[in-house]
Amino acid sequence: MTTVSVEPSTHDDRPDDHRDDRPNRWILASFSAAAGIVHVVMAPSHFGASTLEGGGFLVAAWLQLALAVALVARPSRRVLQAVVVLNALLVLVWAVSRTAGLPFGGHADHPETVSFVDGSCVAFELLLVALAGVWLWRPEQLRFKGGAFAVGVPLAVFAVASAAIAQPEARDHSAHSHGGHTETAGGSVDGQGGHVHGAEGESAAADDKGLSLLTDGHQHSPGAVELDDATQAELTAQLVETAELVRRYPTVAAAEAQGLRRQGPFTPGQGTYFTMQDDQADADGVLDEADLLTPIVIFDGSEPDSPIAGFMYRMLGDEEPEGFAGPNDHWHRHTEVCMVTYADGPADVPFGADDSSTAPELCAEVGGEMLELTGWMVHVWTVPGYESDRGVFSEINSKLTCPDGTYYQIPWSEVGTQDSFCKNP
């Protein structure tokens, strides 16, 4: 009886071309390792926006690093197939995030901008798909010869990767990549008519999550001016009056129990306004003690236990009021405001301000009238725990976020009966 020994086939386990493949191994491994390293570096900033996003970056990173090791150790057909599938999938996810926006995470449905960091990473992934695909199906076409390729190409790849991870957006990629949305509640490109003003604009960009989209043309303050002793003492005396309001209205429930009424939904960066029943804007331009104790009161939310966060003072007149002592209280006005007036209390502002999309017909449906220009107003952030990092009189306060920690808003005309402009209330 004749015994026939059959060797196991290796066709499905190794690429078809068995020439010296060490240059191929090192070159493909360098692309995979570089992409994995970039994902590792970018993961922390994405965790700041969403655990799901950050976790996705780490999973991608470890898979790419593991495949880099496998490519050097044993570039089997299964390894090459995994390289093609994984990196093609990552490129597809990237393309969706840059066009329609991912449907999940802290920036759901918000397209990201392309930067050198993610552009470099995607380039590595595209090359991996192409080279691994050629090695799988046309191995004779992939013939990197000699040590020069095996050493030179990986060095070049890691030089590009090093330049990418050295970029500022690599350390805070999540914030930078979402700072350029073209649609805002106010309708402008960057929320400031297309330009940024000094340190305040820079601060917004550095702490994005939609914060830079909130400014609507009023953040023009050049910064605080140092006051002389007499002026500082006068200003301090004015601001200390607000401590009484903090004690009087610690929460929304306390404010409503004393007759204050909500004026419009919660707005990220500005809070929820509550006004007195007999609220009237001052017309003389001077803040006396009575005026200081009757502002619009701002809360961090609309629930009964939402805490007090700040105040807004209003003045009438054509010229910017003198207001508080010193030059640091920069008053502003709003346009395109739908005002609903009630016979038994203060007016309501259901759709926000500075939004030309709020048509007079929409305003009329809720019983209001369009106000082309409001009186003068200024915010005061003196409540402990809600001091604004932009200054006591800044219009925007970054501590007033949506429940998910971002500042993204729905269009004001779509708020309906909701009590918040937040995209994720």
Place of tokens 């809720």: 366
How far apart (Å, rounded) are the C-alpha atoms in residues 381 and 80?
59
| Paired strand residues for 376 | 315
**How confident is the model at residue 376, as a pLDDT?**
87
The CA-to-CA distance between both ends of the chain, in Å, stands at: 81
The radius of gyration of the chain's CA atoms, rounded to the nearest angstrom, is 29
* Sole residue written with tokens 């970018």: 42
Q: 271 φ, ψ to 5°?
A: 85, -165
Question: Residue 108 has what pLDDT?
Answer: 58
**Cα dihedral across residues 373, 215, 53, 47: positive or negative:** negative
The confidence score (pLDDT) of residue 138 equals 83
**φ, ψ for residue 348 (rounded to 5)?**
-120, 150
State the CB neighbour count (10 A cutoff) for residue 92: 10
For helices 77-99 and 51-73, angle between their N-to-C axes, nearest 10 degrees: 150
Q: Are 88 and 129 contacting, i.e. CB atoms less than 8 angstroms apart?
A: yes
d(CA 209, CA 99): 18
pLDDT confidence of residue 353: 62
Give me the tens of pLDDT residue by residue for the chain, a chain 425 residues long. 444 333 433 444 556 555 567 788 888 888 898 888 988 888 877 765 567 888 888 999 999 999 999 998 888 899 999 999 999 999 999 888 888 777 766 555 666 767 788 888 899 899 999 989 998 888 777 766 666 666 667 788 888 878 877 765 555 444 444 443 333 223 322 322 333 333 343 443 444 788 887 764 444 444 678 889 999 999 999 999 999 999 999 999 999 999 998 888 898 999 999 988 665 666 666 788 888 999 999 999 999 999 999 999 988 888 888 889 999 988 888 777 776 766 555 566 666 665 555 567 777 777 777 777 778 889 999 999 999 988 999 989 999 999 888 888 887 667 667 788 888 76
3-state secondary structure of 265: strand
Q: 34, exposed or middle or buried, with CB in 10 Å at 0-12, 13-18, 19+?
A: buried
Query: In terms of Cα–Cα distance, which of 110, 93, 268 is closest to 177?
Result: 110
**Interatomic CA distance for residues 307 and 318, integer angstroms:** 34
How far apart are alpha carbons 111 and 376 in whole angstroms? 36
Q: How far is CA 401 from CA 130, 301, 312, 398, in A?
A: 44, 9, 18, 7
- Length of the chain, in residues: 425
Burial code (b: 16+ CB inside 10 Å, e: under 16) for 145-180 equals: eeeebbeebbeebeeebeebbebebbebbbbbbbbe
Q: Write out the two tokens for 188.
A: 């402008």
Q: How far is C-alpha 177 from the geometric centre of its chain's CA atoms? A: 9
- Beta bridge partner(s), residue 206: none
Compute how many other C-beta atoms are within 10 angstroms of the C-beta atom of residue 411.
18
Give Cα separations from 286 to 24, 231, 359 (angstroms): 78, 15, 35
Contacts of 92 (CB under 8 A, 6+ apart): none
Query: Which amino acid makes up residue 325?
Result: A
Residue type, 187: G
Return the bridge partners of 282, or none.
315
Residue 203 to residues 136, 174, 179, 238, 397, Cα–Cα distance (Å): 50, 15, 12, 28, 12
pLDDT confidence of residue 115: 76
Rounded CA separation 257/252 (Å): 8
Task: Please return the burial class of 346, using the count of CB atoms within 10 Å of its CB with bins 0-12, 13-18 and 19+.
Answer: buried
Q: Per the structure block, which two tokens stand in for 272?
A: 């929820």
306-327 as b/e, with b when 16 or more CB fall inside 10 Å?
A: bbbbbbbbbbeeeeebebbbbe
